[in-house]
């Protein structure tokens, strides 16, 4: 980290290789488009290089800093809620079940959920991506998004309610973690 901050290009390349998948995954989940995610990845690491002197490991983790830069870059994109067909085809988030019928059922459920996520506005979508795809704590989400902890909890609850509505799930059937 210290070498990267002094401008060492080899250290920067090592850091890039270490975190490129994390940044790309988040950008892909938030934008829903491979091309947009690739653009965000490039812009994030341009920003990381230019602002390397502003990172302070005493104030937070590098991953939190990268999440924040990624979310900010994604928010600049116009097509935040494009269809996620490419994402659904390429991501391997599901385990391979033993029975073919189970695989089809999981794929259909996953596509339905991701379709509902696709319908969310960017502020709810980005918070839910950070929470459920990156398993960040509320505190880390607050730091990453630059919003108060209460707003994080509120957006998670609102986002889950919106998802339930898009999925046709009754509120008493599934409860959010902040309720």
Rounded Cα distance between 179 and 170, Å, is 15
Calculate what percentage of the chain has a pLDDT beyond 90: 25
State the SS3 of the chain.
CHHHHCCCHHHHHHHHHHHHHHHHHHHHHHHCCHHHHHHHHHHHHHHHHHCHHHCCCCCCCHHHHHHHHHHHHHHHCCCCCCCCHHHHHHCCCCCCCCCHHHHHHHHHHHHHHHHHHHCCCHHHHHHHHHHHHCCCCHHHHHHHHCCCHHHHHHHHHHHHHHHHHHHCCCCCCCCCCCC
pTM of the model: 0.59
pLDDT the model gives residue 173: 44
At 42-79, the pLDDT tens digits run 999 999 999 988 888 888 889 989 998 998 888 776 44
Q: Residue 35 has what pLDDT?
A: 87
Q: Say what the pLDDT of residue 149 is.
A: 92
Query: What is the model's pLDDT at position 85?
Result: 39
Structural domains in the chain, CATH included, are 1-80 (1.10.1740.10)
CA distance 38 to 23: 9
Tokens 């690739």: give the residue. 38
pLDDT beneath 50, residues of the chain? 78-95, 172-175, 179
pLDDT at 110 (0 to 100): 74
Query: CA-to-CA distance for 37 and 34, rounded, in angstroms?
Result: 5
């Amino acid at each position: 980290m210290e070498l990267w901050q002094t401008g060492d290009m080899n250290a920067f390349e090592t850091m890039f290789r270490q975190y490129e998948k994390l940044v790309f995954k988040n950008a892909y989940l938030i934008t829903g488009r491979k091309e947009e995610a690739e653009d965000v990845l490039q812009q994030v690491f341009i920003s990381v290089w230019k602002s390397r002197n502003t990172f302070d490991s005493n104030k937070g983790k590098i991953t939190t800093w990268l999440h924040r830069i990624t979310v900010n870059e994604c928010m600049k994109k116009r097509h935040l809620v494009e269809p996620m067909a490419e994402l659904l085809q390429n991501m391997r988030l599901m385990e391979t079940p033993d029975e073919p019928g189970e695989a089809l059922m999981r794929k259909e459920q996953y596509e339905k959920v991701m379709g509902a996520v696709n319908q969310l506005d960017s502020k709810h979508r980005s918070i839910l991506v950070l929470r459920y795809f990156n398993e960040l704590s509320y505190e880390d989400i607050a730091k990453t998004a630059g919003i108060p902890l209460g707003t994080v909890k509120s957006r998670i609850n609102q986002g889950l309610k919106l998802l339930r509505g898009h999925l046709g799930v009754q509120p008493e059937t599934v409860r959010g973690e902040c309720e």
